[in-house]
C-alpha cells in the first residue's frame, strides 16, 4: 500500500535520478504517454473522439458515466475503432484517475482491448486529484494531494470493489466494441492491486486474467485477505512486486506462490529488482522505465494468452 515509508523511498529514488531527469520522461511521447496528456484527455474531452495513435491503430475514446448501486461513476472508455474486443477494467492507484492513467488505458487499447479506466472515488468526488498539467507527481504535489487520496481510499472496501467491478463489467458487456464471449481482464496498481483478486474471485467465469502491480495488502491476517481468495479464482495472474515492498513483507510472495500452486493456476509472482513501490505509472516519482516496460509486456503476454 502507498504509505509514508514508500513515499520516502520514491522521493529518494526520484532525487537520485536527478529529480526525475535520469528516468527519461521523453518516453512519455514514444509510448503515447506524454503528448497531450493535459486537457485533451481530461474533463474537456468530447463525449466521443477518434484518435490516430502510434502504429496506425484508430481508437475511439470517450468519457462515460457508468451506473452503479451507489451512484454514477465517471470513467474513461477507449477501444479500437473497429471490431469487438476483450474487456479490461483498469483500476488506478491512490492518486486516482488522471491523464497518465488514461494514457495507459489508451496504450492497452492499442493492443486490441476495450479498456475502462475507472474513478474508484466517484461516490465522493468526480474528476481528478492530479492537475492536468502535472506530468510527474513530485514531492510538493504529492504532499498536497496525498492526504485527500488517503481519505478517499479509506471510503472504499472489499465490498465496494466487487459491487463496482460487477457494474463496470455489466457496462462493458453492453458495448458494441466488447466481445462478451471472450474472457475479461483486470489490472490494478498500488491499493487496487488487491481489487484484481477480489473481482476475479467474485466473477470467476467472466475473468480470464488479472494483473497486480506493486499491489498493497495482498497477504494479510484477515479472513478475506486476497491470497485466501485464490481458490475461488480461475484467471491467470501476474503479481509484480516492488523490491521495497518485498523487503518489508518478504513472506507475501511465498504465500502467494503457495496459494496459486495449490489452486493449480497459471500465475507469475515476481519481485522486480530495483523497482520501488509505484514504479509503473509514468507520472510517479518511482517510475522505472525498464522495469515498467517489462511489467507491461508481461501483462500483454498474459492477456494475449488468457483473454480468448
Does the pLDDT of residue 23 top 60, yes or no? no
Does the pLDDT of residue 91 top 80, yes or no? yes
| Pairing status of strand 184-189 against strand 207-213 | parallel
HSE (CB half, 13 Å, CA atoms) of 15? 8
Q: What is the pLDDT of residue 57?
A: 82
Q: Taking all residues of the chain, what is their mean pLDDT, rounded to a whole number?
A: 88
Q: What is the pLDDT of residue 5?
A: 55
pLDDT confidence tier of residue 266, bands split at 50, 70 and 90: very high
Does the pLDDT of residue 51 top 80, yes or no? no
Question: What integer is the mean pLDDT of 75-102?
Answer: 97
Does the pLDDT of residue 238 top 60, yes or no? yes
DSSP for 204-256 reads TTTEEEEEEES-SSSS-SSTT-GGGGGGG--SEEEEEEEHHHHHH-THHHHHH
DSSP label of 85: B
Q: What is the pLDDT of residue 18?
A: 58
Q: What is the pLDDT of residue 55?
A: 58
- Are 299 and 88 spatial neighbours (Cβ–Cβ below 8 Å)? no
C-alpha grid cell, residue 86: 476483450
Q: What is the pLDDT of residue 12?
A: 64
- Are 197 and 182 spatial neighbours (Cβ–Cβ below 8 Å)? no
C-alpha grid cell, residue 94: 491512490
How far is residue 278's CA from residue 11's CA, in Å, rounded to a whole number? Answer: 11
Does the pLDDT of residue 187 top 50, yes or no? yes
How far is residue 21's CA from residue 17's CA, in Å, rounded to a whole number? Answer: 6
Helix (H) or strand (E) holding 30, with range, is: helix 27-30
Does the pLDDT of residue 47 top 70, yes or no? no
Does the pLDDT of residue 16 top 80, yes or no? no
Question: What integer is the mean pLDDT of 46-75?
Answer: 81
Considering only residues 56 and 41, tell me which one the structure prediction assigns the higher pLDDT.
56
Does the pLDDT of residue 35 top 80, yes or no? no
C-alpha grid cell, residue 182: 471472450
Q: If we measure between CA atoms, which residue out of 225, 2, 209, 182 comes closest to residue 90?
A: 209
Sign of the alpha-carbon dihedral angle for 168, 78, 130, 278: positive
Question: What integer is the mean pLDDT of 136-160?
Answer: 96
Q: What is the pLDDT of residue 116?
A: 98
- Pick the range with the lowest mean pLDDT from 18-32, 56-70, 110-124, 258-272: 18-32
- Pick the range with the lowest mean pLDDT from 14-18, 23-27, 61-65, 245-249: 23-27
In this structure, the number of other CB atoms found within 10 A of the CB of residue 12 comes to 13
How far is residue 141's CA from residue 12's CA, in Å, rounded to a whole number? Answer: 15
The 10s digit of each residue's pLDDT in 156-177 is: 999 999 999 999 999 999 999 9
Does the pLDDT of residue 36 top 80, yes or no? no
Give the helix ranges, DSSP H, for 69-177. Answer: 99-110, 139-153, 158-173
How far is residue 5's CA from residue 126's CA, in Å, rounded to a whole number? Answer: 29
- Are 59 and 107 spatial neighbours (Cβ–Cβ below 8 Å)? no
Amino acid at each position: 500500500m502507498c504509505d509514508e515509508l514508500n513515499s520516502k523511498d520514491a522521493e529518494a529514488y526520484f532525487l537520485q535520478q536527478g529529480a526525475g531527469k535520469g528516468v527519461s520522461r521523453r518516453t512519455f511521447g514514444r509510448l503515447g504517454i506524454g503528448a497531450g496528456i493535459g486537457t485533451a484527455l481530461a474533463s474537456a474531452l468530447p463525449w466521443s473522439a477518434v484518435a490516430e495513435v502510434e502504429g496506425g491503430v484508430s481508437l475511439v475514446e470517450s468519457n462515460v458515466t457508468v451506473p452503479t448501486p451507489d451512484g454514477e461513476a465517471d470513467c474513461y472508455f477507449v477501444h479500437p475503432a473497429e471490431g469487438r474486443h476483450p474487456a479490461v477494467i483498469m483500476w488506478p492507484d491512490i492518486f486516482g484517475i488522471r491523464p497518465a492513467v488514461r494514457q495507459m488505458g489508451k496504450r492497452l487499447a492499442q493492443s486490441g482491448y476495450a479498456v475502462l479506466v475507472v474513478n474508484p472515488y466517484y461516490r465522493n468526488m468526480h474528476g481528478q486529484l492530479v492537475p492536468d498539467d502535472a506530468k510527474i507527481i513530485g514531492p510538493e504535489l504529492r504532499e498536497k494531494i496525498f492526504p485527500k487520496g488517503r481519505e478517499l481510499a479509506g471510503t472504499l472496501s472489499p465490498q465496494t470493489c466487487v459491487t463496482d467491478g460487477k457494474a463496470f463489467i455489466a457496462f462493458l458487456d453492453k458495448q458494441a466494441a466488447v466481445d462478451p464471449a471472450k474472457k475479461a481482464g483486470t489490472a490494478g496498481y498500488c491499493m487496487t492491486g488487491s481489487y484484481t483478486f477480489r473481482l476475479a474471485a467474485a466473477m470467476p467465469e467472466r475473468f480470464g486474467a488479472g494483473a497486480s502491480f506493486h499491489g498493497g495488502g495482498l497477504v494479510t491476517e484477515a479472513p478475506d485477505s486476497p491470497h485466501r481468495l485464490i481458490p475461488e479464482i480461475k484467471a491467470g495472474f501476474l503479481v509484480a512486486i516492488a523490491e521495497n515492498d518485498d523487503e518489508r513483507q518478504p513472506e507475501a510472495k511465498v504465500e502467494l506462490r503457495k496459494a496459486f500452486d495449490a489452486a493449480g493456476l497459471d500465475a507469475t509472482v515476481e519481485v522486480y529488482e530495483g523497482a520501488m513501490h509505484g514504479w509503473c505509472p509514468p507520472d510517479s516519482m518511482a517510475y522505472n522505465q525498464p522495469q515498467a516496460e517489462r511489467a507491461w509486456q508481461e501483462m500483454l503476454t498474459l492477456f494475449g494468452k488468457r483473454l480468448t
